[in-house]
């Protein structure tokens, strides 16, 4: 039985077997090319920790809509096929506070760890859970500020008579 770092898993026991981890990578649009980089970095991190990557989920789409591929990872957690979820950034997993809180709560109740790589966030600890709440609030704030900027830019362009949106089809 492989040992993992003490304190990582609830109970902190040193005889816990190696974690089976699911990787979740997401970009907002097809234009973005960071999915391979996210997955490679997360897989390397998992390997350094001695974890076994059992699932890789690649999602393309806005954080504000339903993400069926993320739901596949949640189903794997419910079936106890994974012990942990590893994401590139917290905002890749969920950008609204309500969504983030609900999914992280469910993972916690299932005994599935959650780790956000770039924020060095481990939600199996009280400090990690507190930080997740703070980061979620700022992620939502950032999203709302960006939305306001986009709306202001569109309004200004329209005021100047510049067309906006998809060109009319023939």
Model confidence at 65, pLDDT cuts 50, 70, 90, reads low
In the prediction, which pLDDT does 94 show? 80
User: In this structure, what CATH number is given to the domain that contains residue 117?
Assistant: 3.40.50.1390
Structure tokens at 40: 């490679």
Cα 43 to Cα 21: distance, rounded to the nearest angstrom: 9
- Alpha carbon distance 54, 82 (integer Å): 7
Residue 11's alpha-carbon distances to 14, 85, 111, 125, in angstroms, are 9, 18, 11, 10
Answer whether residue 122 shows pLDDT above 50. yes
Tell me whether residue 169 is in a domain: no
1 in a structural domain: no
Residue 170 maps to a domain = no
Q: Which residue has the higher pLDDT, 115 or 122?
A: 115
Say what the pLDDT of residue 57 is. 92
28 among known catalytic residues:
yes
Q: How many domains does the chain have?
A: 1
Is position 30 within any domain?
yes
Residue 114 placed within a domain: yes
The residue that leads in pLDDT, 24 or 137, is 24
Residue 13 clears pLDDT 50, i.e. is over it: no
Annotated catalytic residue, options 14, 18, 28, 62: 28
What is the SS3 assignment for 121? strand
Q: Which residue in 152, 89, 150 sits closest to 121, CA to CA? A: 89
Strands 20-27 and 121-122: unpaired
* Inside any domain, residue 165: no
Checking if the pLDDT of 83 tops 90, the result is yes
| 151-162 per-position pLDDT tens digit | 999 999 899 998
Structural domain that includes position 78: 20-159
Is the confidence at residue 2, as pLDDT, over 70? Answer: no
């Amino acid at each position: 039985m492989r040992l993992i770092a003490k304190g990582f898993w609830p109970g902190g026991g040193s005889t816990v077997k190696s974690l089976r981890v699911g990787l979740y990578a997401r970009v907002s649009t097809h234009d973005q090319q960071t999915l391979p980089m996210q997955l490679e970095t997360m897989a390397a991190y998992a390997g350094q920790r001695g974890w076994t990557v059992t699932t890789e989920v690649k999602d393309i789409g806005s954080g504000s809509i339903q993400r069926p591929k993320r739901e596949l990872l949640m189903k794997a957690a419910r079936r106890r096929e994974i012990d942990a979820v590893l994401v590139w950034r917290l905002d890749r997993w969920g950008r609204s506070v309500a969504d983030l809180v609900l999914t992280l709560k469910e993972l916690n109740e299932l005994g599935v760890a959650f780790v956000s790589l770039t924020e060095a966030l481990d939600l199996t600890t009280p400090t990690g859970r507190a930080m997740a709440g703070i980061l979620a609030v700022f992620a939502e704030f950032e999203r709302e500020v960006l939305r306001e900027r986009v709306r202001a830019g569109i309004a200004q362009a329209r005021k100047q008579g510049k067309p906006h949106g998809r060109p009319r089809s023939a």
